[in-house]
């Protein structure tokens, strides 16, 4: 069965006054119907940019998708016209943003904003839309949905706003929801609630979910497969179980080691990854991670590794895996 989403060698570059930034450099991965995929990496590694590229929401200037293909439901999104793309957005593929306060229109009611995609794509009238809206708000567990529909975003708490965004995303029953750092702006308890909610909803609606985050804990629990991103490239891919049990890239290893875990000995020290994330304007030669790598050897400094299959469904871009 063909994957719902197939990204092939996608590249998005930013042409700034200070130089060329290859925010996304030839990444490839798939997402299948109904599955949850995690895209993990630290801040600034390009994961959000890659997500925006899927919906072709990259601001131009200064950014531009310069290469690759994005096959969604069999069509290459990069070849669609803008109008055709508008039909996909919010309808077949929806995105949930972080910072829900800024991502919601302050002068429009919640009801208006949630029912908007319903009106645009499903042709509903305002009344029909608002009715569906109440149902959606109930799904995302917002209390008193019938009154909330007429409220303005600034009256909501952070968690409620994020739930609103989820409701907005679910409205047209999309095949894929992209959640960009959905819980970063929230406290831990709310985070857990929201993630459970999203997991249940995607299961109930049969929606595929792409979770973009820097938080390993989230992907460990909720994702089926994981892609690890570093400096604009995917450097490891595999099932969640594989990646956690047996990370094959030093960066992924480093990420695991720097996360505190309840099942570790309390005296065991947290090991941070040495060094700084690379400057996109001044990338290291060879493997982009090599300046920070504890296993570095000569080949790493010279040749940039591509993703190398190690086990079935587990690849890593590291010369250590090549004997």
Q: Which residues bind other proteins (CB under 8 A)?
A: 15-17, 55, 57, 60-62, 64, 82-83, 86-91, 94-95, 97, 99, 102-108, 116-117, 120-121, 152, 154-155, 165, 168
Q: Residue 89 has what DSSP assignment?
A: B
Q: Which residues contact 6 (CB under 8 A, 6 or more apart)?
A: 30, 69, 70, 71, 72
Identify which of residues 154 and 221 has a Cβ nearer to other proteins in the complex.
Answer: 154
CA distance to 216, 256, 272, 280, 309, per residue, from 263 (Å): 16, 13, 18, 37, 30
The nearer residue to other proteins, 31 or 168, going by C-beta atoms, is 168
C-beta of 21 vs 273, nearer to other proteins: 21
For the CB of residue 80, give the shortest distance to other proteins in the complex, in Å. 12
Please state the closest distance from residue 179 (CB atom) to other proteins, in A. Answer: 12
Cα–Cα distance between 184 and 206 in angstroms, integer?
Answer: 25
CB of 160 to other proteins, least distance (A): 16
Pairing of strands 233-239, 225-230: antiparallel
**Minimum distance, C-beta of residue 169 to other proteins, in the bound complex (Å):** 9
Residues 203, 209 contacting (CB under 8 angstroms): no
Q: Based on CB atoms, which residue is closest to other proteins, 28 or 103?
A: 103
**Contact indicator for 56, 79 with CB cutoff of 8 Å:** no
How does DSSP classify residue 270? P
Question: In terms of CB distance, is 74 or 106 closer to other proteins?
Answer: 106
Specify whether the CB–CB gap between 68 and 76 falls below 8 A: no
Give min distance, CB of 134 to other proteins, in A. Answer: 19
Q: Which is nearer to other proteins, 104 or 216 (CB)?
A: 104
Min dist CB 124 to other proteins, Å, is: 14
């Amino acid at each position: 069965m063909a994957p719902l989403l197939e990204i092939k060698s996608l590249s998005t570059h930013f042409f700034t006054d200070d130089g060329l930034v290859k925010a996304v450099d030839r990444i490839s991965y798939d997402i299948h119907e109904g599955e949850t995929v995690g895209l993990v990496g630290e801040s600034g590694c390009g994961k959000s940019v890659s997500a925006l590229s899927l919906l072709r929401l990259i601001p131009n200037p200064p950014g531009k998708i310069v290469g690759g293909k994005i096959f969604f439901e069999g069509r290459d999104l990069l070849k669609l016209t803008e109008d055709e793309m508008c039909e996909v957005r919010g309808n077949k593929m929806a995105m949930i943003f972080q910072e829900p306060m800024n991502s919601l229109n302050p002068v429009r009611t919640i009801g208006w904003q949630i029912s908007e995609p319903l009106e645009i794509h499903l042709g509903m009238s305002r009344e029909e839309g608002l009715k569906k809206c109440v149902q959606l708000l109930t799904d995302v567990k917002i209390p008193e949905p019938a009154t909330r529909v007429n409220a303005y975003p600034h009256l909501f708490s952070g968690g409620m706003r994020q739930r609103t965004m989820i409701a907005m995303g679910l409205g047209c029953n999309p095949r894929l929801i992209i959640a960009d750092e959905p819980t970063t702006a929230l406290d831990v308890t709310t985070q857990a609630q929201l993630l459970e909610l999203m997991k249940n909803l995607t299961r109930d609606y049969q929606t595929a979910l792409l979770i973009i985050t820097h938080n390993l804990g989230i992907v460990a629990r909720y994702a089926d497969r994981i892609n690890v991103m570093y400096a604009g490239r995917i450097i490891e891919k595999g099932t969640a179980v594989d990646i956690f049990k047996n990370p094959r890239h030093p960066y992924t290893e480093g990420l695991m080691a720097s996360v505190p875990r309840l099942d570790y000995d309390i005296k065991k020290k947290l090991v941070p990854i040495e060094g700084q994330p690379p400057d996109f304007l001044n990338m290291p030669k060879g493997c982009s991670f090599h300046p920070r790598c504890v296993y570095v050897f000569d080949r790493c400094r010279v040749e940039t590794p591509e993703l190398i299959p190690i086990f079935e469904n587990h690849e890593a871009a590291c010369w250590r895996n090549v004997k």
